[in-house]
Amino acid sequence: MTIDRSKKVALITGVTGQDGAYLSEILLRKGYVVHGIKRRSSSFNTGRIEHLYQDPHVLDQRFVLHYGDMTDSTNLIRVIQQVQPDEIYNLAAQSHVQVSFETPEYTANADGLGTLRILEAIRILGLSQKTRFYQASTSELYGLVQQVPQSETTPFYPRSPYAAAKLYAYWIVVNYREAYGMHASNGILFNHESPLRGETFVTRKITRAVAAIRHGLQDTLYLGNLDARRDWGHAREYARGMWMMLQQETPDDYVLATGETTLVRDFVTAAFAEADIALDWSGHGVEERARCARTGRVLVEVDPRYFRPTEVDLLIGDPTKAREKLGWSHETTWRELCAEMVRHDLATIAREQRAHAE
Ligand code: NDP
Ligand code: GDR
Interface pTM, i.e. ipTM: 0.99
**Can you give the C-alpha Rg of the chain in angstroms?**
21
What is the 228 CA–ligand 2 centroid distance (Å)? 9
The residue among 53, 75, 72, 50 whose CA lies nearest residue 64 is 53
Q: Which pLDDT score, from 0 to 100, does residue 60 have?
A: 84
**How many angstroms separate the first and last alpha carbons of the chain?**
44
Domains observed in the chain: 9-193+231-256 (3.40.50.720), 202-230+262-308+332-357 (3.90.25.10)
Verify whether ligand 2 is closer than 6 Å to residue 233 (CB atom).
no
Length of the chain: 358
Q: State pTM to two decimals.
A: 0.98
Output phi, psi for 174, to 5 deg: -60, -40
- Residue 5: Cβ-neighbour burial (10 angstroms; 0-12, 13-18, 19+): exposed
Substitution site in 90, 97, 115, 315 for ligand 2 pocket (most atoms within 8 Å of beta carbon)? 97
The minimum-distance atom of ligand 2 relative to the CA of 312 is: 28
What is the 97 CA–ligand 1 centroid distance (Å)? 11
Verify whether ligand 2 is closer than 6 Å to residue 139 (CB atom).
yes
For helices 114-124 and 73-83, what crossing angle results, to 10°? 50
Could you tell me which residues are beta bridge partners of residue 136? 187
The residue among 222, 107, 217, 228 whose CA lies nearest residue 168 is 107
CB 282 within 8 A of CB 110: no
Output phi, psi for 2, to 5 deg: -95, 140
Reported as type and span, the H/E element at residue 184 is strand 184-189
Instruction: Give the residue numbers annotated as catalytic, written as ranges.
Output: 138, 140, 162
Respond yes or no on whether the N-terminal peptide bond of residue 319 is cis (omega within 30° of 0).
no
Within the chain, residue ranges assigned H as helices are: 18-29, 73-83, 97-102, 104-107, 114-124, 161-180, 202-214, 235-246, 264-274, 320-321, 334-357
| Closest ligand, as measured to the CA of 202 | 2
Nearest CA residue ID for atom 13, ligand 2 = 225
Strand, helix or coil for residue 256: strand
Distance (Å, whole) CA 108 – CA 115: 10
Verify whether ligand 2 is closer than 6 Å to residue 182 (CB atom).
no
DSSP 280-344: EEE--GGG-EEEETTT--EEEEE-GGG--SS---B--B--HHIIIII-----S-HHHHHHHHHHH
- Residue 212: Cβ-neighbour burial (10 angstroms; 0-12, 13-18, 19+): middle
- Residue 162: Cβ-neighbour burial (10 angstroms; 0-12, 13-18, 19+): buried
- For the chain, 358 residues long, give each residue's pLDDT as a single digit of tens: 555 668 999 999 999 999 999 999 999 999 999 999 999 999 999 999 999 998 888 888 999 999 999 999 999 999 999 999 999 999 999 999 999 999 999 999 999 999 999 999 999 999 999 999 999 999 999 999 989 999 999 999 999 999 999 999 999 999 999 999 999 999 999 999 999 999 999 999 999 999 999 999 999 999 999 999 999 999 999 999 999 999 999 999 999 999 999 999 999 999 999 999 999 999 999 999 999 999 999 999 999 999 999 999 999 999 999 999 999 999 999 999 999 999 999 999 999 999 888 8
- The amino acid at residue 284 is H
C-alpha 323 chain-centroid distance? 20
